[in-house]
Amino acid sequence: MAVGSGELGALHIVNGVRIGVASAGIKKPGRIDTVVFELAEGSSVAGVFTLNAFCAAPVTLSKKHLAAASSRYLLINTGNANAGTGVIGMADAEASCAALAAEVGVTPDQILPFSTGVIGEKLPIEKLVAALPAAVSALSADAWLNAANGIMTTDTRPKATSKQIEIDGRLITITGISKGAGMIKPNMATMLGYVATDAAIAPDVLQHMLDIAADASFNRITIDGDTSTNDSCVLVATGRAGGEQLTIAKGPVYEKLQQVINDVFLELAHAIVRDGEGATKFVAVEVAGANDVSEALKVAYAVAESPLVKTALFASDPNWGRILAAIGRAGVDSLDVSSLTVHLDDVLITENGGRAASYTEAAGAAVMKQAEMSIRINLNRGQHTETVWTTDFSYDYVKINAEYRS
């Protein structure tokens, strides 16, 4: 179950990136569960990772390798998160990097490993290593869709997008994929996300661009309020489109690139929400009139993650009292409830501390029945606005997570 068509447009080749997939049979025999990205020599690579203290072994190792060497390959497996696995898990992550390095002729620290799936179970490293030759043999420039399918877990459909822009007479491509449907409240970036461009961008500028893009997209979505142990997102710039390398995070070239990268990230983030586990609604929670970003996000997340609000959304029930209760417990200091307003799309439901005089149950119910809608809150106490995107809670959410390991 998902919201929207999920149709993907053309996924343009990024010069300097090749991708190969294979089946290691980590969780299900025959399922594509191993993905290898090959990055052109000299590519800039930036990453952001989960802030969960119980972060997975591949997250720790990727951060170490990213700081130590020029990354040439990304290695991703699904079906097993290799998290909560202690010393053995780190040894397995290191072994996977060593095996791929030997296969392709680079050093192990030039490999960034990523895993997603069940937490607390040992990675079947022998199966993963055995699948690497097939993944390497399959390396191709036009395998982005294969990769999008290969990194899925409880996702019901692949998530990918691609854009092209012209800068100084050169065609620049930005293509990306992501995965995620549950255990979603990024505290850095996304569950797993890989975006590449053939623009030439210096590493420090690329990291800055990634931080901005991730914060405005993946750090503004929530399915269930749970931050994963494995969240990772990588942005690659191969430089193969030619032109002078971007070395300063300002100016028209930077601004144009940043905007299109932001757009790619936001589309990938929205695709995760639309495919939230059991989702039947795609909901934007907008909080305006806040004193600062933190205040706006406190309120937005309190509403977006409230089980009572989310179940009302599933039932298409305009039980707006649940929204007010979530706002009230968000922890905003000295909140004047008589000054705030709440809308469902354009339907005003509360003002002056209570039900709006113009509100009717029929108008509220009509909005709640929509597959896509907004909850707009104005605190009327400042100039800051933030938006968080979320889903409802359906019967299927419980079923999917109750049966996750079966």
What is the full per-residue pLDDT of the chain (406 aa) written as tens digits? 689 888 899 999 999 999 999 999 999 999 999 999 999 999 999 999 998 899 999 999 999 999 999 999 999 999 999 999 999 999 999 999 999 999 999 999 999 999 999 899 999 999 999 999 999 999 999 999 999 999 998 898 999 999 999 999 999 999 999 998 787 687 655 579 999 999 999 999 999 999 999 999 999 999 888 888 998 999 999 999 999 999 999 999 999 999 999 999 999 999 999 998 889 999 999 999 999 999 999 999 999 999 999 999 999 999 999 999 999 999 999 999 999 999 999 999 999 999 999 999 999 999 999 999 999 999 999 999 999 999 999 988 888 788 777 6
Which residues have CB under 8 Å from 277's CB, separation 6+?
Answer: 154, 181, 182, 223, 224, 396, 397, 400, 401
Helix-strand-coil percent breakdown of the chain, rounded to 5? 35, 25, 40
Provide Rg for the chain, Cα atoms: 22
367 and 317, same domain (yes or no): yes
What is the dihedral sign for C-alpha 143, 206, 7, 392?
A: positive
- Cα torsion 279, 284, 290, 292 to 10°: value is 70
Q: Is residue 12 part of a domain?
A: no
181 and 259, same domain (yes or no): yes
225 and 269, same domain (yes or no): yes
Residue carrying structure tokens 């931080």:
211
CATH of the domain at 336: 3.10.20.340
Q: Is residue 241 part of a domain?
A: yes
Work out the angle at residue 190's Cα, subtended by the Cα atoms of residues 184 and 193, and round it to the nearest 5 degrees: 135
> Which amino acid appears at position 77 of this protein?
N
Q: Is residue 113 part of a domain?
A: yes
Q: Is residue 2 part of a domain?
A: no
211 and 311, same domain (yes or no): no
What is the dihedral sign for C-alpha 337, 338, 343, 344?
A: positive
Domain count, the chain: 2
218 and 108, same domain (yes or no): yes
CA–CA gap between residue 171 and residue 277 (Å, rounded): 37
Asked whether the beta carbons of 49 and 231 are under 8 A apart, the reply is yes
C-alpha of 397 from chain center: 19
Helices and strands (H and E) in the chain: how many: 11, 15
Q: Which helix (H) or strand (E) holds 347?
A: strand 347-351
CA of 349: how far to CAs of 48, 166, 384, in Å? Answer: 39, 45, 22
Q: Is residue 310 part of a domain?
A: yes
167 and 45, same domain (yes or no): yes
242 and 328, same domain (yes or no): no
Helical ranges in 105-234 per DSSP H: 125-137, 144-150, 203-215
194 and 77, same domain (yes or no): yes
pLDDT at 188 (0 to 100): 58
Which of 167, 162, 222 minimizes the C-alpha distance to 196?
162
Query: Cβ of 213: how many Cβ atoms within 10 Å?
Result: 30
Q: Is residue 328 part of a domain?
A: yes
Asked whether the beta carbons of 85 and 120 are under 8 A apart, the reply is yes
Q: Is residue 262 part of a domain?
A: yes
263 and 287, same domain (yes or no): no
Q: Which helix (H) or strand (E) holds 286?
A: strand 282-290
pLDDT at 334 (0 to 100): 96
CATH of the domain at 23: 3.60.70.12
What is the dihedral sign for C-alpha 248, 250, 253, 255?
A: positive
Reading the block at residue 389, the tokens are: 């995107």
CA–CA gap between residue 75 and residue 253 (Å, rounded): 31
Asked whether the beta carbons of 341 and 357 are under 8 A apart, the reply is no
Domain range for 185 is 17-274
Burial 322-341 (b: 16+ CB within 10 A, else e): bbbbbbeebebeebeeeebb
341 and 314, same domain (yes or no): yes
> Which amino acid appears at position 129 of this protein?
V
Sequence length of the chain is 406
200 and 337, same domain (yes or no): no
Q: Identify the DSSP state of 246.
A: B
pLDDT at 196 (0 to 100): 98
CA–CA gap between residue 125 and residue 77 (Å, rounded): 10
Work out the angle at residue 312's Cα, subtended by the Cα atoms of residues 391 and 229, and round it to the nearest 5 degrees: 35
- Point out the domain boundary residue: 255, 274, 293: 274
- Point out the domain boundary residue: 241, 274, 307: 274
- Point out the domain boundary residue: 240, 274, 308: 274
156 and 225, same domain (yes or no): yes
Write phi, then psi, for 268 (nearest 5 degrees): -65, -40
Q: Is residue 313 part of a domain?
A: yes
- Catalytic site residues? 190
